[in-house]
């Protein structure tokens, strides 16, 4: 009786509650089913992306930097493949012991390495760039998931220090940092591409899926430089700087017909293949970026201006005695006093007094106009980064003493490239072309500066300057007629000029009968006892011109007889400004 009553007291669930529970379960199931249909059927991009993120990666395809070659297709800058160690932090599976081993192998800090692994927001991170092959192989042997090798390219310069100031160099990311590598960065660097790949848990590529974007490789750059002439110029410049214990020096070789730069060397220099030992003070191309007072190498332009103006002829006589000329409070001196000289002899013997009298016989604007038209005071437009314009003051501001000193290269500053280019008017019958470091596909436009007659007259004067009795007999070349002018200028020091510091220079061309080469040489602060341009710079010109003309197979225009230098007892024709 009691048990029966107890059974009747068990509560019963209302029917509507069980129905509601069933409906709720059905609705939840329907929602899940709908969501699954939506994600897997109607909108499967989300799940696809999540899935692909576990195994698919977009890999950069590095573009090869364009090769730089000389005018004869000799390689001057090439990109060689190297291996870098990289990691995918999302895929990293590494033990503390492996971290230590990897850090030791890569010669890097353990904590820095660990921080790179922990940054899982990044899909790619470099651990060490551009390893030697044997070191890269040891990394692979560690077999660490998520750590892999990445193919890159490193720039290599076969000519090393010989071409350093022309070519420049790139950084670890293969971007141009100096010289033509910097100036032509857009053409050389190309554009990277991308491809999608499938990787395993070790970070190894197991399958190529597709190409997202093909790489665009850099363009090939052909320079006007002739590698053989460049080596010759560098060798002779280096020899002269060592012999005369000079601070620095530069040389420029131009094609007298096209205006192209065939060689351009500077010292001190550097090795562009050694980025870790880079000295910025050695990296500048002094022939383009540094200025100096040209000294007596400017006298031919003064003579040409006077001839063009009709104030003198080559045979006009100028009295230079007693070897000095006082203008106001200043006095101009000749290092080798003479008496009455023709205009041609003023150039041959490099008379400061004679040049000053030529200049003072002209309106200042007339002299300024010729200096300006040959390119002084403006960039030479060679395309080289950092080229300077030099200093040529407005003629309205010239005082008589300034006009006089400017006639022999004081009070004006030029680069070596500007000076070499200016001499083109004497080598090409009065016409001037812009210099070029890239090989020209077509002849350059010419600017007439002086008449053919004046150019040929000054050319004869410059040929006299290298003969016995001139300032530069050491510039002569066996088998070829040459012409040129020496310069020996005191260096600027503070507001005046240093007494015992000089810039020795020589600019000339050959062969005189049909000029093919223009060569400008500058030796900064020779200190071994000789400092005149005829003794220090002219021999460099001789060696380079002789070798280059033979390399170019230019036929001789003078007897092939051994040159005899003036005996030691014969006084040297000195010049100094």
Asked if omega into 322 is within 30° of 0 (cis), the reply is yes
Measured over the CA atoms of residue 427, residue 524, residue 541 and residue 417, the dihedral's sign is negative
Lookup: tokens for 572: 């040297």
Alpha-carbon dihedral of residues 71, 75, 79, 82, nearest 10 degrees? 180
Report the C-alpha gap between 334 and 337 in whole angstroms.
5
| DSSP per-residue letters across 472-538 | -GGG-BTTB--EEEEEEEEEEETTEEEEEEEEEEEEEEE-TTS--EEEEEEEE---SS---HHHHTH
Residue with tokens 């364009």: 66
Report the C-alpha gap between 510 and 517 in whole angstroms.
6
- The contacts of residue 150 (CB under 8 Å, 6+ apart) are 83, 84, 85, 86, 126
Alpha-carbon dihedral of residues 506, 510, 513, 515, nearest 10 degrees? -100
Lookup: tokens for 229: 């002439």
Q: At 418, is the secondary structure helix, strand, or coil?
A: helix
Contact 421/378 with Cβ under 8 angstroms?
A: no
Q: Is residue 164 within a helix (H) or strand (E), and if so which, with residue range? A: helix 164-167
- The total of other beta-carbon atoms located within 10 Å of residue 361's CB is 15
Report the C-alpha gap between 436 and 414 in whole angstroms.
18
Report the C-alpha gap between 421 and 84 in whole angstroms.
46
Q: 177 phi and psi, to 5 degrees?
A: -115, -25
Residue 536: name the closest of 574, 571, 510 by CA. 574
Per-position b or e across 410-446, b if 16+ CB within 10 A of its CB? bbbbbbbbbbbbbbbbbbbbbbbbbbbbbbeeeeeee
Contact 98/197 with Cβ under 8 angstroms?
A: no
Residue 447: name the closest of 428, 465, 466, 473 by CA. 428
| DSSP per-residue letters across 265-332 | EEES---TT-GGG--HHHHS-HHHH--B--GGGGHHHHHHHHHHHTS--TT-EEE-TTSEEEETTEEE
Report the C-alpha gap between 531 and 522 in whole angstroms.
11
Q: Is residue 126 within a helix (H) or strand (E), and if so which, with residue range? A: strand 125-131
**What amino acid positions are annotated as catalytic residues?**
296
Residue 357: name the closest of 391, 313, 403, 396 by CA. 403
Q: 499 phi and psi, to 5 degrees?
A: -75, -35
């Amino acid at each position: 009786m009691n048990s029966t009553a107890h059974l009747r007291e068990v509560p019963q669930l209302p029917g509507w509650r069980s129905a509601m529970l069933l409906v709720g379960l059905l609705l939840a199931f329907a929602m899940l089913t709908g969501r699954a249909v939506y994600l897997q059927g109607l909108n499967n991009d989300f799940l696809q992306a999540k899935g692909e993120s576990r195994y698919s990666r977009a890999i950069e395809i590095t573009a090869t930097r364009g090769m730089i070659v000389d005018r004869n297709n000799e390689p001057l800058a090439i990109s060689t493949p190297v291996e870098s160690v990289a990691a995918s932090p999302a895929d990293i599976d590494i033990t503390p012991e492996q971290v230590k081993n990897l850090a030791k192998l890569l010669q890097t800090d353990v904590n820095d390495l660990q921080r790179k692994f922990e940054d899982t927001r990044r899909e790619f991170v470099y651990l060490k760039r551009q390893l030697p092959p044997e070191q890269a192989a040891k990394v692979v042997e560690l077999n660490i998931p998520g750590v892999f090798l990445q193919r890159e390219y490193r720039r290599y310069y076969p000519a090393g220090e010989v071409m350093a100031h022309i070519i420049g160099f790139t950084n670890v990311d293969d971007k141009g940092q100096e010289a033509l590598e910097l100036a032509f960065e857009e053409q050389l660097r190309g554009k990277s591409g991308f491809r999608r790949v499938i990787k395993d848990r070790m970070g190894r590529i197991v399958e190529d899926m597709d190409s997202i974007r093909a790489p665009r490789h850099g363009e090939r750059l052909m320079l006007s430089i002739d590698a053989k002439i460049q080596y010759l110029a560098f060798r002779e410049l280096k020899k002269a700087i060592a012999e005369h214990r000079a601070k620095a020096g530069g040389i420029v070789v131009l094609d007298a017909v096209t205006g192209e730069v065939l060689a351009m060397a500077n010292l001190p220099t550097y090795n562009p293949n050694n980025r870790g030992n880079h000295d910025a003070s050695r990296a500048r191309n002094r022939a383009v970026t540094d200025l100096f007072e040209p000294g007596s190498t400017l006298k031919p332009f003064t003579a040409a201006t006077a001839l063009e103006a009709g104030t003198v002829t080559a045979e006009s006589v100028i009295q230079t005695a007693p070897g000095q000329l006082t203008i106001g409070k200043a006095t101009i001196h000749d290092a080798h006093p003479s008496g009455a000289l023709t205009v041609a002899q003023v150039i041959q013997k490099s008379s400061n007094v004679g040049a000053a009298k030529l200049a003072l016989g002209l309106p200042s604007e007339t002299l300024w106009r010729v200096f300006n038209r040959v390119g002084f005071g403006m960039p030479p437009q060679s395309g080289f980064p950092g080229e300077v314009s030099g200093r040529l003051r407005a003629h309205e501001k010239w005082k008589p003493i300034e006009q006089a000193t400017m006639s022999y290269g004081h009070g004006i500053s030029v680069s070596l490239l500007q000076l070499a280019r200016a001499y083109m008017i004497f080598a090409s019958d009065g016409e001037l072309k812009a210099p070029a470091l890239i090989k020209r596909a077509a002849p350059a436009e010419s600017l007439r500066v002086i008449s053919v007659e004046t150019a040929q007259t000054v050319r004869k004067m410059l040929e006299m300057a290298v003969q016995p009795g001139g300032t530069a007999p050491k510039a002569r070349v066996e088998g070829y007629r040459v012409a040129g002018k020496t310069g020996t200028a005191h260096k600027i020091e503070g507001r005046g000029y240093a007494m015992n510091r000089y810039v020795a220079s020589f600019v000339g061309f050959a062969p005189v009968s049909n000029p093919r080469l223009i060569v400008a040489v500058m030796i900064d602060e020779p200190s071994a006892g000789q400092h005149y341009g005829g003794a220090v710079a002219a021999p460099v010109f001789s060696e380079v011109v002789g070798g280059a003309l033979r390399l170019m197979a230019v036929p001789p225009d003078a007897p092939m007889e051994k040159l005899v230098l003036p005996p030691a007892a014969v006084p040297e024709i000195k010049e100094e400004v």
